[in-house]
Structures are given as C-alpha cells and as structure tokens.
Amino acid sequence: MATIKEELRAAAKKLFDDDRIDYFVGYAEDYGHTFPAILAKGSDLSRLTFDRKSYNNLANFLPELRGSRVGLVCKQCEVRTLNVLAAEEQIERDKLVVVGVPCPAMIDPRKLPEDEAGLDDLDDSFWQEKCRRCLERNTPFADVFVGERASTPTPAEGWPLLEEVEATSAEERLAWWREQMSLCIRCYACRLACPLCYCHQCFVEDNKPQWLDKSVGPENNLHYHIIRAIHLAGRCIECQECSRVCPVGIPVDVLNNVLSRDFAERFGYVAGETAEAEPALIQYERDDKEDFIL
Amino acid sequence: MAEEEKQKARKTAGTWEPNIVGFLCNWCSYAGADLAGTSRVPYACNVRIIRVPCSSRVDPLMILRALREGADGVLVSGCHPGDCHYIEGNYYARRRLIALKQLLDHVGLDPRRFRVSWVSASEGRKWAEVVETVTRELLEAGPFRYEENGDD
C-alpha cells in the first residue's frame, strides 16, 4: 500500500501547487489509526493515507465546505453519494476535483482479532458489511485517479440483518425495535454522520408544531428513526455510517434497508447508481404498484 | 354490515370506541364525505376529519403525530390516481405513503392502524363503507398503545 499513499500525497501536492483546490479531503494516519482529514493549503500532506480502514464517507464534509474548491478522495461510497447530491443540486461540480482511488474493500475493526497484522489478506468475513454488497471498486468519473484499477467485485445478495429481523413475527419485531429504541439516547450522531442529511433545520428541532417530544423514550425514538428513514427514502446509498457511529450500537440502517430493498423491487430504483436518475420520491409512474389501498 | 351485527361487534369490544383521524383531500374525499352526509348515508361517527388541500399535503410526520397524540388509527384519503385536482399530487403522495407503510409494517405496527383509500367526490357511499371497514377493524384491534403500561 506504500505506493498508493505516495501517489495520493503527490496528487494532493500537485492540486495545491496548481491552485486548483482550497481544501483536500482525505484520510490521515496517526498512532496507528486512520481517520478523515480536511487539509487546507500549506498543511502537512505527509500523513495522507488510504488503507483498509478508510471506511468513513468523506462526502459528509462537502456541505460545510460549500463555496470552496475541494479535492475529494472518492471510493464507491462517495461516488454514489455524489450522484445523489448532484441530482439534488447540492454540489458545485466545477469546484470539485474527484480523486479516484481503487477500493480494496474496507475492514470492520470490530470484527478484527487481537492480532492486527496482515490487514491486506483478510477475507470477506472481516469486511465492512457495506463492502460485501459493493458493485464497483473504482471511481467512474474521477478527475485524477491514483493507484491501480481494482477488479470488479461480485456483490453479495440479500440483506442479512434485515432478513433476520423479518423472519420473526410482527409482535416480536415490535418488541425487538422497542428494545433497540429504548437504548437510543438521541444524540443524533446518525443524523450528523449521514452525508445526505444536510437540512439546515431538522424536524426534530421544530417547536411549532413540535413533531416529537424533546424527551427520550422508545416511542419517540422509534418515530424519529422512522421519519429519518422516510427522509432518506430513495436517497440512502447504504454507506452504513449511521449504524457505525451509533454509540449504543443500534443497527439503524436496517430501517433504511427496508426502503432501499422495496424501492428497488417496486420502482426499479437504486439510489446513486447513476448521476442522471431523479430521486425516487420526486418522480412517479402512473401505474406504481399499490397493494394496500382500500 | 347490518346494524345488529355492528352493535354486536361493539358490545363484545365493550364500550370502547376507536378514535380515527382522517386526512381528506379538499377536492375529492372531503366532498365525498360531504355527499355521504347530504345523502343521509349512515356510517360510524368515529372518524375526525382534517381537511387538507391535497393528499400530498399529508406528511408522514402528521400521521405519526396523530398516533402519538392518541389516535387509534389514521385514514388518509384522496382523489383516485389520475383525478388529482393538482394533476399529479396523489401520485407523489402514493409513493410517500408506500414508504411509510413499508416501515410501519416492518417495525411490527398493526397494519389496521394506518389505511389509505381513494374516494372521489361522487363516492359518498364508498366513503361510508371505508369508514365502516376501518372502524370495524379498529374495534377488533383495540386501543392503540405500544405497551400496556403506556410509554415514555
């Protein structure tokens, strides 16, 4: 992986030297950790990296850098996010330099054994769940591409956790979700980590009308998560940042997956697959399947 | 449904009557409900009607809030697809309501709590039937709460 680090640093340096960008958004490493970094002009680029722990979705930083010229390290998660943001006219493409990287499939640190040696050879049982379903490991519309192109993956079928939950009865599901939601402290980390939750004012802060109680409780929390999933209906690109950042470990992305799967089956719509597709909820077909209407 | 049967169903469920919040579009369903009234069609009086400009005005937030504020069931009703006063409002509403329905079904909410129907301005009789059906189903389902001991 040494070469891709060097190439990435060289690419960032060139973009700054040519005065094409104000900020470079990528991953940095320190003390054995990899984390997202926003580097301004003149910053030390020697910590830039890209390895198998670069799982964050960097497109999350774009809204706060709006107006600046940004170089963004893009793997497939960012690519799909950019497609959705472009369809919603939320990015200025002429101010964005897409730095494509070949994604080696990211590792889930929670699945790692104590001995962390040999990150490169881990099989898919150590992968992030999102990487098992990934359709493409390269960046199709990169302005700059670093590293060697990766081979096309074979995406895994199905939604393991969602299917596990759905195998139970309605009463058991309600009990299970209540249990999960009783853990939720509504820190809104899921909202913050989501690259597609960019509203300036969120319904949870509304006072007039007040849609939700400010207090925490299973019912309140469940309604918050249902509406969060509705607001991401046909937009969620399954990067699973929401579940990853949850401090109490609620798999909140299962609710998003319900809609992703249903929209794919019902409307043939996969969010972020192409830059041209209109979001699913602002288009319609006259004969959309309606199976529950009286 | 015959009057005696209806009474019977209510008796077995005790004296409890469901509270239903109905979101009705101004142009079709509200006029349809009006027609049911002016034609003297008898139907259950459990539905509290909120008139909205179009079924696409109904935000999923409103439906969840109604359930949180004590409704036992929510009924959303609008023009038939193709008949929308605003040409395409109910097509958008349909996609949104499908999304909400999927989620509510997934988390295990009783599907009888949230119903959608298309009722035109000339379908006073259909409106009465829809309300009868929803009321009957909710009588069977019982009062709405997530848990016996209340919540929060």
- Span B86-116, pLDDT tens digits: 999 999 999 999 999 999 999 999 999 999 9
Helix (H/G/I), strand (E/B), else coil: B118: strand
B chain contacts of residue A284, beta-carbon cutoff 8 Å: 88, 91-92, 94-95
Alpha carbon distance A250, B134 (integer Å): 34
Helices B124-141 and B29-38 pack at an angle, to 10 degrees, of 100
A22/chain B closest Cα distance in angstroms: 40
| Residue A197 dihedral angles phi and psi, to the nearest 5° | -95, 85
Name which of B100, B105, B108 is nearest A171 (Cβ-Cβ). B108
Tally Cβ neighbours within 10 Å of residue B121.
19
Name which of B91, B116, B118 is nearest A292 (Cβ-Cβ). B116
pTM over 0.80: yes
| Nearest Cα residue to A238 out of A268, A263, A219 | A263
Name which of A226, A262, A293 is nearest B107 (Cβ-Cβ). A226
Output the pLDDT for position A117: 62
B chain contacts of residue A169, beta-carbon cutoff 8 Å: 108
Output the pLDDT for position A151: 81
Output the pLDDT for position A133: 87
Alpha carbon distance A219, B144 (integer Å): 12
| Nearest Cα residue to A101 out of A127, A81, A135, A77 | A77
Tokens 């008796």 -> residue: B11
Both structure tokens of A22: 């104000």
Q: Do A211 and B104 touch (CB under 8 A)?
A: no
Output the pLDDT for position A119: 67
Helices B89-106 and A253-267 pack at an angle, to 10 degrees, of 130
Predicted confidence pLDDT, tens digits, chain A (294 residues):
458 899 999 999 999 999 999 999 999 998 888 999 999 998 899 999 998 889 999 999 998 898 999 999 999 999 999 999 999 989 888 999 999 999 988 988 888 776 666 666 677 788 888 988 888 888 888 899 998 888 888 888 888 899 999 999 999 999 999 999 999 999 999 999 999 999 999 999 999 889 998 889 898 999 999 999 999 999 999 999 999 999 999 999 999 999 999 999 999 999 988 888 888 999 999 988 888 887
> pLDDT-based confidence at B149, cuts 50/70/90?
very low
Q: DSSP H helical segments within chain A, as ranges?
A: 2-17, 76-87, 129-132, 160-166, 170-183, 189-193, 218-231, 241-245, 253-267
How many A×B Cβ pairs under 8 Å?
A: 115
Name which of A213, A259, A294 is nearest B117 (Cβ-Cβ). A294
Q: Is A292 on the interface with B (CB under 8 A)?
A: yes
Output DSSP code: residue A143: S
A137/chain B closest Cα distance in angstroms: 30
Alpha carbon distance A134, A121 (integer Å): 18
Alpha carbon distance A63, A80 (integer Å): 16
Output the pLDDT for position B151: 44
Q: Do A230 and B99 touch (CB under 8 A)?
A: yes
Portion 161-180 of A in contact with B at CB < 8 A = 165-166, 169-178
Both structure tokens of B72: 């036992």
A chain contacts of residue B24, beta-carbon cutoff 8 Å: none
Q: Do A217 and B152 touch (CB under 8 A)?
A: yes
Helix (H/G/I), strand (E/B), else coil: A178: helix
Alpha carbon distance A44, A34 (integer Å): 16
Portion 93-132 of A in contact with B at CB < 8 A = none
Both structure tokens of A116: 């962390």
Helix (H/G/I), strand (E/B), else coil: A141: coil
| Stretch (H or E) spanning A48 | strand A48-49
Residue A193 and residue A246 in contact, taking contact as beta carbons nearer than 8 Å: no
Tokens 């006072």 -> residue: A207
Q: What is the radius of gyration, based on Cα positions, of chain B?
A: 15
Confidence check: pLDDT of B6 > 80: no
